[in-house]
Amino acid sequence: MTKDEIIRYYDYLMRLAISKCNSQADAEDLVGDTMLAAFTYLHKGGAIEHPKTWLANTFFHKYHDHLRRKYRCPVTVCLEDMADMAEETDEESLSPEEAAEVRKELNFLACSTREVLVRFYFGNQSISDIAEALNIPEGTVKSRLAAGRSQMKKGLKNMERNNMERKNILPGRLDLSFGGREGLRGDPVSFVEDDLIAQNLLMLAYEKPVGLQDLSKAIGIPAVYIEPIVEKLVDRELMQKTDGGRVYSDFIITKPQDALRSFRPQLDFAHKHFDTVWNIIEKMSEQISGMPFEREMGAGERTRLDRYAVLKALQDFQYFGTGKIEMPKFPRRRDGGRWLAQGIAFEAGYHMKEYEEASQYQIHGGHRTTEAFVAGDARLVRLYEFDTMLFDCPHRYGKTRFSMDLYFKHIVPFLWCIYADIPLEERVGDDIPSELISYVPSLEEAGLIGNVDHKLCVKIPVLKKEEYERVHAVIRSATEEISSAIGEEFAAFIASQRTPLPRHLTSVPELYRYSDATSYFVMAIVREAYDRGLHLKDVDYCCPPVVMTWACEE
């Protein structure tokens, strides 16, 4: 076993140490001591036939020694093989504290630089040996050594500052969403939704391409730890790597401040044209209320259907402003999905009050369609829905305290069984998981189902396919009428509000720049109608704009 092969286990030992230690400094010290023990053993003529086992056993010996010493004496670090580094700092030798600091600084170096320094100082390899092992020119080895020594020297010259514990800097969180079809692993959201480090790396690499060393400094986490995260972000196509080795986030990221800049202008535009728009909406509602199947519904179902139609007509008009822009093509991804990501970055310390107030004017997620074949795969049932903050249960799959995955996969057959009076126990374990049954009270709270005479019932409108098509035709006619009245002015307005992009970011579809420019318009109209007593007059209950349709398979 050679020193080169021992060095390959550095990251393995570091992961092992992090799992055992409560302190990053302790983990770094233990790994360093273990590596030095291996180099010393080889230098004395020892042979290591099974390096992983040998290193693990040595690590645990060091770890238990550390525990025995922990409260009896200060932690010391042996760094005899770093004598050359000491000379670079104009010091005769490194104290234990300085040695520990050197190790910290070493881990903040980028992988390519760090590996050269470890080989040169820890492995006692010559420049020519390093060049041969890494298949790079000797000049490159020298330049990386010089760059690494320069950074190490800066750290040691500011020893008083560096002796203070270096803290991780996580500037905030990133809410990631996507359009298209997710991958087999749930990408792109699944990889970053519970990982603050990954989220912050994406935020830091948005404005311009950055190197790993710069990311390490910005986030306050050694490069040795963030390198594998960055590699996974690149592999999962949320980041791209430049020819120079820098990385950048390859999707649009906005901030609440960006959305708020267009909030008041959208409210003003909606107010200016409210009378024109609402006259058309009222005529649409009257046409739908005159349809025979609508008159047979209860008051709650009719209100839900009207809410849905109003939102659908207004959102379809909203798309008129971007109608001349090419629709995005969702690229095929390595994980099997076809998606385009977008994110909202919430920086640490940002006061959310104003943004949360503005969110009352947002439709969360837009118009969603969920479908499933039910009743022996012979009937196609669809659920059309919006989420709002007005007499609704926004993100009802989250507010009802179960997962989005559970909701979207099973809510359609669940609602159909209740509507068609199919005993739920006959379908539990088939297309309805038993877990969903326990959330019946939450679904009642969300306004999707009710309970009459101790029997569950569906509280949303249920239409045959041809009935929904009649409703949709009236909605489409209203949308076209609004477009004729104010469409061109609206298109010019939202073009002036679209989100700017960093110069290097060329993969973002033009349409994605209009999300903030249009996100408040629909609910601005709806809320003004409510405030004037023209909409939702008698509603004081959770009234989600959700419609279920069904058709036999053709």
Which of the two residues, 184 and 503, has the higher pLDDT score?
A: 503
What is the tens place of the pLDDT at every residue in 494-510? 999 999 999 999 999 99
Say how far apart CA 325 and CA 197 lie, in whole Å. Answer: 35
- Tell whether the model's pLDDT for residue 161 goes beyond 70: no
Nearest Cα neighbor of 166 from 101, 113, 118, 106 is 101
Whether 218 and 224 have beta carbons less than 8 Å apart is answered as: no
Whether 199 and 344 have beta carbons less than 8 Å apart is answered as: no
**pLDDT value of position 401:** 56
**Per-domain residue ranges for the chain?**
3-162, 172-250, 258-552
Say how far apart CA 293 and CA 270 lie, in whole Å. Answer: 33
Say how far apart CA 258 and CA 358 lie, in whole Å. Answer: 12
Exposure string over 9-21, b if 16+ CB within 10 A, otherwise e: bbeebbebbbeeb
pTM: 0.69
**pLDDT value of position 63:** 76
Say how far apart CA 80 and CA 83 lie, in whole Å. Answer: 6
Tokens (6 digits) for 2: 């050679």
Taken in order 503, 178, 403, 443, is the CA torsion positive or negative? positive
β strands within 280-329, DSSP E? none
**Three-state secondary structure call for residue 434:** helix
Helices vs strands, H then E, count in the chain: 28, 11
What is the tens place of the pLDDT at every residue in 54-76? 888 888 878 767 665 543 433 22
Q: What would the mean pLDDT of 361-385 be, rounded to a whole number?
A: 86
Per mean pLDDT, which range of 151-165, 345-359, 397-411, 487-501 is the poorest? 151-165
Q: Cβ of 160: how many Cβ atoms within 10 Å? A: 7
pLDDT tier for residue 482 given thresholds of 50, 70 and 90: very high
Nearest Cα neighbor of 348 from 105, 110, 109, 167 is 167
Question: How much of the chain exceeds pLDDT 70, in percent?
Answer: 84
In the Cβ-directed half-sphere of 306, how many Cα atoms lie within 13 Å? 27
Q: What would the mean pLDDT of 319-335 be, rounded to a whole number?
A: 87
Which of the two residues, 502 and 353, has the higher pLDDT score?
A: 502
Tokens (6 digits) for 159: 């020893």
Q: What is the CATH number of domain 172-250?
A: 1.10.10.10
Say how far apart CA 548 and CA 460 lie, in whole Å. Answer: 7
